[in-house]
Each structure stands twice: as C-alpha cells, then as structure tokens.
Amino acid sequence: MSVSLDIRLKRANKVYHEGERLSGVLVISTRDALQHQGVSLSLEGLVNLQLSSKSVGVFEAFYNSVKPIQLVSSNMEVVKPGKVPAGRTEIPFEFPLQAKGSKVLYETYHGVFVNIQYTLRCDMRRPLLAKDLSKSCEFMLHCQPQKPKLPPSPVEFSITPETLQNVKERTSLPKFLIKGHLDATSCAITRPLTGELVVERSEVAIKSIELQLVRVETCGCAEGYARDATEIQNIQIAEGDVCHGLSIPIYMVFPRLFTCPTLETTNFKVEFEVNIVIVLHDDHLITENFPLKLVRV
C-alpha cells in the first residue's frame, strides 16, 4: 500500500508516569496526495478481568467475564478533513496522562486473568471506497516510586525431609539438607531477586534446581472471588549433581510487562510468589514457596 500511518513516541522505551505528558509524532507517508475525512487520536487505559474456567463453570466464564475497568480515556482530532500532501508528513501531538475521576493509573501488566494495558490509537477516516486507516501503539505506564515500608531483610531457609508438607510417605524420602537465603522478599521490581543456596548434603543426586516465578491473580469481590496461581517463568539455577557445600547464586530478573508492583484493589489483586524447585535424580520434586512483595522504588 502506498499509504502508511505510524505513531512514534518520543521516548524510546515508551515508559511514562502518571501526570506526565505523552508526546510524539504521527507520521503519514504517502506516495500521492491523500484525501481524508479527519485524523483522530485516542488514548485508553483498561483493566481487563477474566474468570478462570477452574473457578466457575466454563460457560459462565465465557459470558460473565467481569466488566473491564476504564482508567483513562481521551480523544482528540489531530487533523481536520482535507488533504495530506504527497511524501512524509509529521504531526506532533501531546496528551496529558491523567486518571479518570478518582481512579489511579495502575502499572502496565500482562497477566492471564488480569490485564492492564494502555494504548494510543490513531484513526484516519477516508471517503467511500477507501479503507479507513488505523494504527495503535501500546505504551507502558509505571507508577510513581513507592517508599519501601520495611528495610529489606534476608529470609533464611533450610529444607530437609522433615520440613516438607504434603508428603505421603515420609519414609521413602531420601535424606538431604539444603540451606540458603533470599536477600529480601520485598523486592524492587527493577532489581533482580538474589540470594544463595547451598546443597549441604543429599543422598540422591540432584537433577536440577529451578526458580519458578508465579503470579497470583484474584478477581471479584468479597462475596465471590477467583484466585489463580500461574507460572510466569522458570529459571534454572543448577543443573546436574552440583558440588555439595558450595553456594550457588539465586538470581532472577523480573520480566517486564509480566510483572508489576504487587497490586491490591477492590476488584482484583495481583501478587507474586517464587518457588524454589529442587528436582532429584529419582524425580522427587521438592518445592519451597516464598511470597514476594514487588515495589517500584
């Protein structure tokens, strides 16, 4: 096609905060002069909630998906109906990022049952016989830095057959002792999760040690809610029969988009947890769970 529409935001990383101005240019490049009936820009921030099929019946989940919550919405006409000359036309624009009413602009988050997304959309209406053109572009919203409530404190852990719950036959378990610590469970989202882990001893060789990052999403309100934990990512920190007594670093970068500061609202909650998963050579699976509190500092 000889016409293209593009939105270029000023910031390369597309990250904005509440109260800032979202600025950029609209680029229209066309080979011939172009007749149109107006170009408009719209900005929208939405929270999409979805109930999982596990919590309710399948059909219910389909129909009763919770109503989306609009956080911000604005619209403006950038160009009046008329003609765009041939070649490249750049139209600068600027939007104030202000929440609707008393709402807060939550941080961008892509989850399974909760999605918080901000988009900028540009529409060009064109006369009959020509398709309308549109282009949308997602940008990230980061919330204002929060002050950590508590100074970060390391969390020690020690895993032995005795500390485990949910064990059917405790006698069949091989003996092992795995010690370690997480540097903090209240983590800055921009900093990696760190810590150390030492396999002090283990009767059976270790096959793998992994860090599993889990999101816990809760939708609904006090009467009825659905709470689901799903995996975000799984990072292997040890492979094979590691050297006993030698500390292995725990290190995991929080992925962008898929994590956000821990969020609690009246309608939904987004929380995170990390599991340390130890797989033994005889396929025993040992998991130690740590709830995390993510903050943006």
Partner 1 sequence: MASVQWHSRGRKYESEWQGCHLEGSAVEFSDYHPLKAITVTDSKSRRGGRKGSTSSTSSSSSSVALDPLSSMLDGTDPLSLFAAASETPTLPHSISAGELGRKRQEKEEEVGLDFEPWSSKRGEILSRFTTTEKLSINLFMGSDKSKAASPSSAVSEKVRTRLEELDDLEEGSQRELLNLSQQEYVNRIEELNQSLKEAWGSDQKVKALKIVIQCSKLLSDTSVIQFYPSKFVLITDILDTFGGLVYDRILTMCADPHPLPESFSADEVNDTAKETCLNWFFKIASIRELVPRLYVEAALLKCNRFLAKCGIQETLQRLTAMIRGIGDPLVAVYARAYLCRVGMEVAPHLKDSLNKNFFDLLASFRQIHGESVQNQLGLQRVEIPIYLTLYSPAIHWILQCVAYRAPEVLLTEMMDRCKKLGNNALLLNSVMWAFRAEFVATRATDFIGMIKDCDEAGFPKHLLFASLGRSLSCADPPESERLSILNEAWKVITKVRGPRDYINCAEIWVEFTCRHFTKREVNTVLADIIKHMTPDRAFEDAYPQLQSVINKILPYFHDFSVLFSMEKFLPFLDMFQKDSVRVEVCKSIMEVFIRHQQEATRDPVILNALLHICKTMHDSVNALTLDDEKRSLALLINGFIRMVSFGRDFEQQLSFCVEARATFCNLEPVIIHLIHTVNQLAMETRRVMKGNHSRKTAAFVRACAAYSFITIPSLTSIFSRLNLYLLSGQVALANQCLSQADAFLKAAVSILPEVPRTISIEGKQRSSEPFFLEFINNFLSTLLVVPDHPEQGVLYLVRGLLNMVQDYTWEDNSDAKVRVYISALPLLAAMSQESYLYTIPKVDSNETLYGGDPKFIAEINKLCETLIGQVLDHLKTLGRDEGVRRQCGLAFSLFGCLLAHGDLRNNKLNQLAVNLWNLSHKHGFCETRTSVRTLEYIKHQAQLADMSHLSDITARLSLQSRA
Judged by the rule CB under 8 A, the positions of this chain that interact with partner 1 are: 11-13, 52-54, 110, 112, 205-206, 209, 212, 214, 228-243, 246-249, 251-253, 255-256, 275, 279, 285, 287
Cβ proximity to partner 1: between 76 and 253 the closer is 253
Q: How far is the CB of 10 from partner 1 (least distance, A)?
A: 10
Q: How far is the CB of 89 from partner 1 (least distance, A)?
A: 22
Beta strand pairing status for 176-182 and 155-159?
antiparallel
Cβ proximity to partner 1: between 43 and 252 the closer is 252
Place of tokens 């009767």: 203
Cβ proximity to partner 1: between 222 and 246 the closer is 246
Distance CA 173, CA 132 (A): 66
Letter string b/e over residues 62-84, b meaning 16 or more CB atoms within 10 A of that residue's CB? eeeebeebebbeeeeeebeeeeb
Could you give the 3-state DSSP secondary structure of residue 59? Answer: helix
Q: How far is the CB of 116 from partner 1 (least distance, A)?
A: 15
Q: How far is the CB of 274 from partner 1 (least distance, A)?
A: 13
Burial classification of residue 56, based on how many CB atoms lie within 10 Å of its CB (0-12 exposed, 13-18 middle, 19 or more buried): middle
Q: How far is the CB of 115 from partner 1 (least distance, A)?
A: 10
Query: Taking Cα atoms as reference points, which of 135, 125, 130 lies closest to residue 4?
Result: 135
Residue 149's φ and ψ, nearest 5 degrees, are -75, -40
Cβ proximity to partner 1: between 99 and 229 the closer is 229
